[in-house]
Amino acid sequence: MRPAFSVLFLTTLIGIGQGLLVALSVGQWIETIGWAPVDPNGNFIAYGAVVAVVFLGLGLFASFFHLANPQRAWRAATRWRTSWLSREVLLLPVVMGLGLVYALIQYFNVQPALVTFANGESVTLGLVVGTVAALAALLLFVVTGMIYACVKFIREWASAWTVINFMIMGLASGSAVAAICANLEGGVLARFYLFAALVLTVVALATRSYQIWLNSRLALKSTLKTAIGQHHQQIRQISQGFMGSSFNNKEFSAPGGRDAVRGTTVAFLFFAFLLPAALMIVALGHGGLVVLASAAAIQYLGLLVERWAFFAQGQHVQNLYYQGKA
């Protein structure tokens, strides 16, 4: 499939935003149950949620460039009963809205205690809204992943691992940004987020590698025999019906072909996972913001390459009809 840059930016940017929201909520829970001291200035979560909303907004902005008629984009919210794409169109603004409310509650410290525990800590409004935002963000990972995983005609995508990888890579990159936010605001959770980002990056390396391995062993479901219904062992295409090109051989093939997929796969395994993981280990020891920020930046660029390779690797069944011409 031809990778569209609007979708590469959309899926990677909202991945960071969603991962960041989840990280913030988890951090707030950790403070609440007393595993970490409560942040003295408390604004870290508010600023972090704003950063998350900015990432989600940038992703939403990028998505409009994918549409040929963006003025009708509102119509895309109507078919949520059947279309995962429509569900994403609905859920993304909901997550953004929840993130914004979360930020406002934390910033203005509107924290009526809903439940108070014996140890003196209480479930506050911010904690509840943050948890709902995080759950919505996790659901959005599923919805975004399912857009691709439900396309059964692209066997490389039609797998639960598409959803799992979208989620783990988003959580990893979001945790890295959470570590930066916590570091900037002097939050006590910076090291926790950094460690979480490291673990998630290593897990993402494993699960994404597993999907690459699965995709290298895919069996064809259709052949030219069923595509044109001729029971011959040897079928060769002589003409596609045109001498130039068409939508069918532009949209469904990636520039560079298999070599480009192989090259970008090696590149993203290094730049999205291995190098950031190494830098995160350095940052854990030495605690420098510059190392941490470069790890997050390199990981983001690596994830862009990863998304490019993900799209380019998809081999659509319709390509059976567009294999060659004499």
Partner 1 sequence: MFGKKQTPAKKQLALVIDLNVCVGCHACVTSCKEWNTSGSAGPLPDENPYGADPKGVFFNRVQTFECGTYPNTETVHFPKSCLHCEDPPCVPVCPTGASYKREEDGIVLVDYDKCIGCKYCSWSCPYGAREFDEVQGVMKKCTLCVDRIYDTSLDPKLRKPACVLACPTSARIFGDIKDPQSEASIAIAENSGFQLMPEWGTNPANHYLPRRKTRITLHEDELVRADNPLKVEGEPPKVPLTSPTIDDASNW
Binding site for partner 1 (CB under 8 A): 1, 66-70, 72-73, 75-79, 81-86, 89, 147, 150-154, 221-222, 224, 226-230, 232, 234-248, 250-252, 316-319, 321-322
Please identify, using beta-carbon distances, which residue of 206 and 228 lies nearer to partner 1. 228
> Residue 260: what residue type?
A
Please identify, using beta-carbon distances, which residue of 118 and 243 lies nearer to partner 1. 243
Q: How far is the CB of 95 from partner 1 (least distance, A)?
A: 17
Please identify, using beta-carbon distances, which residue of 158 and 297 lies nearer to partner 1. 158
Q: How far is the CB of 154 from partner 1 (least distance, A)?
A: 7
Please identify, using beta-carbon distances, which residue of 272 and 312 lies nearer to partner 1. 312
User: How long, in residues, is the chain?
Assistant: 326
Residue 318: closest CA among 247, 215, 245, 219: 247
Q: How far is the CB of 313 from partner 1 (least distance, A)?
A: 14
Q: How far is the CB of 76 from partner 1 (least distance, A)?
A: 4
Report CA dihedral (103, 108, 114, 118) to the nearest 10 degrees. 100
d(CA 39, CA 151): 45
The residues near 173 (Cβ < 8 Å, ≥ 6 apart) are 12, 15, 16, 19, 197, 296, 299, 300, 303
Q: CB 154: neighbour CB atoms within 10 A? A: 20
Please identify, using beta-carbon distances, which residue of 109 and 245 lies nearer to partner 1. 245
Q: How do beta strands 122-124 and 113-116 pair?
A: antiparallel
Please identify, using beta-carbon distances, which residue of 14 and 177 lies nearer to partner 1. 14
Please identify, using beta-carbon distances, which residue of 76 and 203 lies nearer to partner 1. 76
Q: How far is the CB of 185 from partner 1 (least distance, A)?
A: 38
Residue 10: closest CA among 314, 240, 322, 303: 303
Q: How far is the CB of 69 from partner 1 (least distance, A)?
A: 5
Q: CB 226: neighbour CB atoms within 10 A? A: 12
Q: How far is the CB of 61 from partner 1 (least distance, A)?
A: 16
Q: How far is the CB of 233 from partner 1 (least distance, A)?
A: 8
Please identify, using beta-carbon distances, which residue of 111 and 248 lies nearer to partner 1. 248
d(CA 299, CA 271): 6
CA distances from 175 to 37, 163, 269 (A): 19, 18, 19
Please identify, using beta-carbon distances, which residue of 113 and 228 lies nearer to partner 1. 228
Q: CB 260: neighbour CB atoms within 10 A? A: 16
Give strand pairing partners of 115: 123
> Residue 310: what residue type?
F
Q: How far is the CB of 160 from partner 1 (least distance, A)?
A: 14
The tokens of 133 are what? 């935002």
For residues 151 and 158, the answer to whether their CB atoms sit within 8 Å is: yes
